[in-house]
């Protein structure tokens, strides 16, 4: 006959430690995983693998907020700058595409990403190099509003709609949007 040296409290603690928990965000999901920062039980859908272990999305977002120092008005500054620059630059770009003819899409591919990066740098300087979580979204909205306003203005003034749907125009706009979005991350 063997005698157990553990007390009833130790065995209850061991059983409780091995008992399944339920995710704080998904109460029906059983888990054995906890956030290594706040200790909240999380399932694999809620877990984010970091260099130091699994963390919940709330702790990740809290950590990322340290890097964002933009003020509320910076989003609207980014929107206005992107809209005005696009309103002015798109007619020039569209005119250049009309001169190049078939090879406009090649020029668009070469110049589009550079134009997006230049616009992102102008916006960065206009907001004092502050970073914000939503500045890139406001920039994209400003670019799109500037494109539409430019097209409407050209149709009113010149009775012609700028070539938004030409292959070169679509490539240019796509590359400029993508580059500006990634640069402002």
What is the tens place of the pLDDT at every residue in 35-65?
999 999 999 999 999 999 999 999 998 888 8
pTM greater than 0.85: no
- Residue 171 has a pLDDT of 80
> What mean pLDDT is predicted for residues 16-31?
84
Give the side-chain half-sphere CA count within 13 A for 15.
7
When the pLDDT of each residue in the chain is averaged and rounded to a whole number, the result is 83
- For residue 156, give every residue at least 6 positions away whose Cβ sits within 8 Å of its Cβ, in sequence order, or none: none
Whether the Cβ atoms of residue 118 and residue 172 lie closer than 8 Å to each other: no
Q: Can you give the pLDDT at residue 6?
A: 53
**DSSP one-letter code for 61:** H
CA distance 169 to 49: 40
What is residue 22's three-state secondary structure?
A: strand
Instruction: Tell me the sheet residues that pair with 31.
Output: 21
Average of per-residue pLDDT across 83-106: 79
pLDDT tens figures, 124-144: 999 999 989 899 999 999 999
- Residue 155, pLDDT > 90, answer no
């Amino acid at each position: 006959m063997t005698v157990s040296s553990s007390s009833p409290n130790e065995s209850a603690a061991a059983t409780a430690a091995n008992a399944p928990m339920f995710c704080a965000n998904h109460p029906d999901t059983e888990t054995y995983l906890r956030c290594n920062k706040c200790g909240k039980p999380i399932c694999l859908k809620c877990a984010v693998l970091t260099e130091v272990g699994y963390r919940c999305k709330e702790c990740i977002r809290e950590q990322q907020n340290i890097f964002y120092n933009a003020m509320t008005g910076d989003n609207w500054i980014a929107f206005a700058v992107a809209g005005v620059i696009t309103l002015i630059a798109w007619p020039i770009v569209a005119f250049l595409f009309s001169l190049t003819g078939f090879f406009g899409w090649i020029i668009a591919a070469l110049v589009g990403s550079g134009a997006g990066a230049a616009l992102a740098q102008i916006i960065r300087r206009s907001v004092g190099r502050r970073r914000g979580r939503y500045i890139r979204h406001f920039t994209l909205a400003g670019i799109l509003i500037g494109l539409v306003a430019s097209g409407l203005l050209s149709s009113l003034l010149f009775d012609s709609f700028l070539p938004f749907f030409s292959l070169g125009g679509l490539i240019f706009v796509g590359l400029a949007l993508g580059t500006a979005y990634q640069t402002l991350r």
